[in-house]
Amino acid sequence: MSNTFLSERVLGIQPSPSIAANALVSELRAKGRDIINFTVGEPDFDTPEHILQAASAAMRNGDTHYTATTGTLALRRAICAKLERDNGLTYGLDEVVAGCGGKHIIYHALAATLNHGDEVIVHTPYWVSYPDIARLNDATPVIIAGDESSAFKLSPQALEQAITPRSKWLILNSPNNPSGAVYTEAELLALAAVLRRHPHVLIMADEIYEQFVYDAARHVSLARLAPDLKARTLIVNGASKGYAMTGWRLGFGAGPAWLIAAIGKLLSQTTTCPSSISQAAAVAAFAGDQAPIGAMREVYQQRRDYMLERLASIPDLRFTPPQGAFYVFANVGALLGKSSPDGTLIASDSDLVAYFLKEHGLATVSGAAYGMSPYIRLSFASALEVIEEGCRRLREACQELR
């Protein structure tokens, strides 16, 4: 009965699988279960002290009122300065907008541009929300299948084949969640060459993990490498990952003024503006001491190497070492078709995730949630002792399958 009152767009999507997985961990822990959580998609560090101090000062100084819809002048200046410092990109104040997280910007950018029948190109493995946000805005997600042999990166040939007259957006996420893939300059330039031939396609560059790259990998913005595409590129970023500020809900978009104005119009009718306190904190994050980022990156690299070493000892797992973000996207194809000790058949990566959680207290996310099976996503945004215990449980769980 209740479904008769719900819209087709709501009935046509599912709750975010990664958020649902983390919520299940909290529920099981509340019931007394001992759960190792490898689903976590956020830094486990506290927000740096100088950012906390800026927020506290804002509250004590009465900075607790509505702000301009697109963000305070101080924040937009800080965003512009950050983009020039870190990305070599110059934007005007009317070309940046602040929102309640990166997802908020993505949603409003698509809402501002999509019509029924438009297509949004998404490459697997993708962040879980891209296809459903496209569907919510009456568009069709066009899914390009990824390939582990190419380190899960979109090829120019596959992009060319996916573009149609109805294509409105390409979403490109680097560093990538969940694979950890980081595009090189040569790879981005090859994609740019395709996009130049299709001027009706907008480009969404989701760079939320830009601060966390490892080994010889280096993050570079497509808009910097291909300045002629800047006028139809929206960079999505924020404070959540690099500054350990997920709960502050502060993201931003940088793009052409016409698009930023349209996003601002929608924001004025939805959330009005981000939290004034979060905006003050983000000014300190983007414009203040950047040393905490380097310290966190070093810890993540240590954790990544620690997890990879332990995963390598599990015969039935295969993985491509991530170059960025804080996840391992592991191939579990060799485990499918086996059975758990109670005789339950493991027919899919979703079955495997359920088995890990039920029998071994290990929470992971299935590759199906990211559009690509048979894989699981393992987060290394946890302390070394948690990674050690989680990998021990994972190895034991795999050994018990027959």
Q: Is the pLDDT of residue 161 over 70?
A: yes
* 38, 247 contact by CB (below 8 A): no
Superfamily of domain 2-46+292-400: Aspartate Aminotransferase, domain 1 (3.90.1150.10)
Taken in order 16, 18, 22, 24, is the CA torsion positive or negative?
A: positive
Q: Say how far apart CA 318 and CA 302 lie, in whole Å.
A: 20
CA dist 232 and 40 (Å) reads: 33
Partners of 170 in the β-ladder: 121, 203
Peptide bond before 292: cis, by omega within 30 degrees of 0?
A: no
What's the rounded mean pLDDT across residues 10-31? 85
Domain boundaries, the chain: 2-46+292-400, 66-288
Residue 387: half-sphere exposure toward Cβ, Cα within 13 Å: 23
Task: Tell me what pLDDT residue 29 has.
Answer: 87
* Helix or strand (DSSP H, E) at 234: strand 233-238
Write down the pLDDT at residue 324: 98
Q: How many other CB atoms sit within 10 Å of the CB of residue 302? A: 12
Across the strands, what pairs with 315? Answer: none
Q: Name the phi and psi angles at 327, rounded to 5.
A: -135, 155
3-state SS assignment for residue 139: coil
Indicate if the pLDDT at residue 268 is higher than 60.
Answer: yes
* Token code pair at residue 232: 């139809």
**Token output for 190:** 């090859």
Residue 40's pLDDT is what? 84
Give the mean model confidence (pLDDT) for residues 76-99.
98
Q: Each residue of 185-225: pLDDT tens digit? A: 999 999 999 999 999 999 999 999 999 999 999 999 999 99
Q: Looking at residue 335, what is its pLDDT? A: 98
pLDDT at 378 over 90: yes
For residues 196 and 19, give the distance between their C-alpha atoms in angstroms, rounded to a whole number: 36
Token code pair at residue 171: 């979403």
Does the structure show a pLDDT above 70 at 1? Answer: no
Joined together, the tokens standing for residue 113 give 């541009």
CATH number of this structure's domain 66-288: 3.40.640.10
Contact 275, 248 (CB under 8 A): yes
Residue 69, helix vs strand vs coil: coil
* Cα–Cα distance list, 213 to 47, 104, 251, 327 (Å): 20, 24, 20, 12
Please provide the DSSP assignment of 328-386 as one string.
EEEE-GGGTT-B-TT--B--SHHHHHHHHHHHH-EE-EEGGGGT-SSEEEEE--S-HHH
Token pair 């019509």 is found at 115
Could you count the other beta carbons within 10 Å of the beta carbon of residue 289?
A: 12
Average pLDDT, the chain: 96
Residue 205's beta-bridge partner residues?
172, 235
CA atoms of 127 and 141, how far apart (whole Å)? 13
Size of the chain in residues: 402
Report the pLDDT value the prediction gives residue 15, as an integer from 0 to 100.
Answer: 85
Instruction: Provide the token pair at 213.
Output: 């790259």
User: pLDDT band for position 362 (50/70/90)?
Assistant: very high
